[in-house]
Structure 1
C-alpha cells in the first residue's frame, strides 16, 4: 500500500460494547461480523489496535488474538505484520468455509442437492442472458473451446477437465453481475466438485456431453434467449444425474 493512500479507520466506540457471553472469543468474532453486517466497517478498513479492542469489548488480549485467527481463517480479516488488522477486500478461497462444513454434516439427499442447483443455475443463466458483456461471452467461449480440445485428446487429463468445468460455471456466475448470487453459486459448485470429478473419471463420455451442454448454454446466452438457456441447464443436470447413478 502506498504511504500516500488514506486508510479508513472508523470510530467504533459507539458500536462496540461489552456484554455477557459464554465465550469471549465467540463474542469478539460475532461483534466484528455485526459491524460488517451493519456496514459500520467496510472492506479495506483498519480495525482498532488490539489494546483498543480489548478495552471496547472488555475482553483479554488472548481472546482478541484468538478471534482474529478465526476471522483470518474465514477470510474476513487480513493481519498485516507491523501495520495492523484490516477487513479483507477480496472474496477468494479461504482455509475452510463453515457453511460448506454445515452443509456436509447435514447430509442432504441428492434430490435436494439437484433442486438447489436447478434453482440457482436457472437464475444464474437468466441474469447472464440479461447482463453478460462481450468479455464474459469471450471467456465462456474460450473455456468451451479449451474443454473441446482437451476432451478430444486420447490421453485425458481429468484434473484439467474438472478445472475447466468449474471455470465455466464461475464465469457464468460473474456474467450475471450479481455478486451475492455469484458467491452462493460458486460455493454450491464447490460442493458439487466431487460429483463432477466422479462423473469425469468413471464415464468417458461425460466430458463430451458436458462440453455439448455448456456450448448450448453459451449459445443461448449469446442469443439472449432465457427459455433456451434454462432448458440447456435442465438438460445439463439430467445428463449429470444419470451419470452419477450409472454404475
Structure 2
C-alpha cells in the first residue's frame, strides 16, 4: 500500500502526536489491518516530512499502548488482538479526572448493568455453578469467627470477576480488572465500613439478590440490585 494513501500532513498537534494519530486513523479506517506491517521509518519520514526521532517516538508510544508490536529483523506490525495495555490511556484519564472517585463509581454502575444484561444472554449451567461457588466462598469468609476485611474484599472481587467472565468479553474483563486495581483502597474501606456497622448479613443479602436476578434473568431488577450494591462504596467516596 502506498504510504501517502493514509498519512496526512503534519499540522496543529505536536509532530509525535500527529504521527500517532495518522497511524491510529489508518487502523480505524482499515487501511492498516491487524497483522499488517506498517511502513518503514524512512517511508514514514518521507511521507510526512518529519525527523526519524519523531517517528521512533510515535512508534514507541503505540507499542507501549499495545497497538503495534516490533518483530526484530522483520519490522513493525499492527497487533492482531486485544492487549490490556490498550486501556492504559483511558484509565489514566479517569484517575486524573477531577472528582474521579465519584465518576468511577458511576462508571462501574453503568458497566455492571451492562455486564448483567450480557451475562444473562450467555448464562449456562457451568456459569451458574461458578457464580454459586463464588457466592459460597464469600459467605465462608464472612462466617469466619475473626472476619478479615482483606479476605472478604478479595472474595467479593472474585465474585464480581466471575460475573464479568460470563460475558466472554475481553474488553470488559480488562476494564473491570483495572478499575478494581485503581479503586482497591476505597472499596476496602467500604468493606471495613459494613463490618464495623455489623451489616455483613445485609451485604450477603445484596449478593444473593444479584445471584437470584442473574439466574432468573430478571432484567427488570438489574438497575435496582446494582444501585443497592454500591451504597457503601458511595458513602466512602462521597
Q: Same fold (TM over 0.5)?
A: yes
| Aligned alpha-carbon RMSD (Å) | 3.5
Deviations 1:163-219 (A, max 9, x none): 443344344334346666666555555543332122235553677655543332122
Q: Is the 8 A contact 1:73 1:96 kept in 2?
A: no
Q: Given the alignment of the two structures, is residue 215 of structure 1 paired with residue 178 of structure 2, yes or no?
A: no
**Unmatched tracts of structure 1, length 5 or more:** 1-9
Distance 1:50 1:149, change over 3 A: farther
Deviations 1:56-106 (A, max 9, x none): 333222112111211122222222333332223443432982222222332
Q: Given the alignment of the two structures, is residue 175 of structure 1 paired with residue 155 of structure 2, yes or no?
A: no
In the TM superposition, what is the alpha-carbon distance from 1:119 to its structure 2 partner?
Answer: 3.0
Distance 1:100 1:111, change over 3 A: closer
Matched residue pairs, number?
Answer: 235
In the TM superposition, what is the alpha-carbon distance from 1:26 to its structure 2 partner?
Answer: 1.1
Distance 1:116 1:40, change over 3 A: same
Aligned positions of 1:180-219 closer than 5 A? 188-201=179-192, 204=195, 210-219=203-212
Structure 1: how far apart are the matches of 2:87 and 2:213? 35
**Unmatched tracts of structure 2, length 5 or more:** none
User: What TM-score do you get using the length of structure 1 for normalisation?
Assistant: 0.74
In the TM superposition, what is the alpha-carbon distance from 1:12 to its structure 2 partner?
Answer: 4.8
User: What TM-score do you get using the length of structure 2 for normalisation?
Assistant: 0.76
Structure 1: how far apart are the matches of 2:167 and 2:190? 27
Q: Given the alignment of the two structures, is residue 85 of structure 1 paired with residue 76 of structure 2, yes or no?
A: yes
Q: Given the alignment of the two structures, is residue 238 of structure 1 paired with residue 226 of structure 2, yes or no?
A: no
Structure 2: how far apart are the matches of 1:50 and 1:17? 16
Structure 1: how far apart are the matches of 2:232 and 2:193? 14
Higher helix fraction (1 or 2): 2
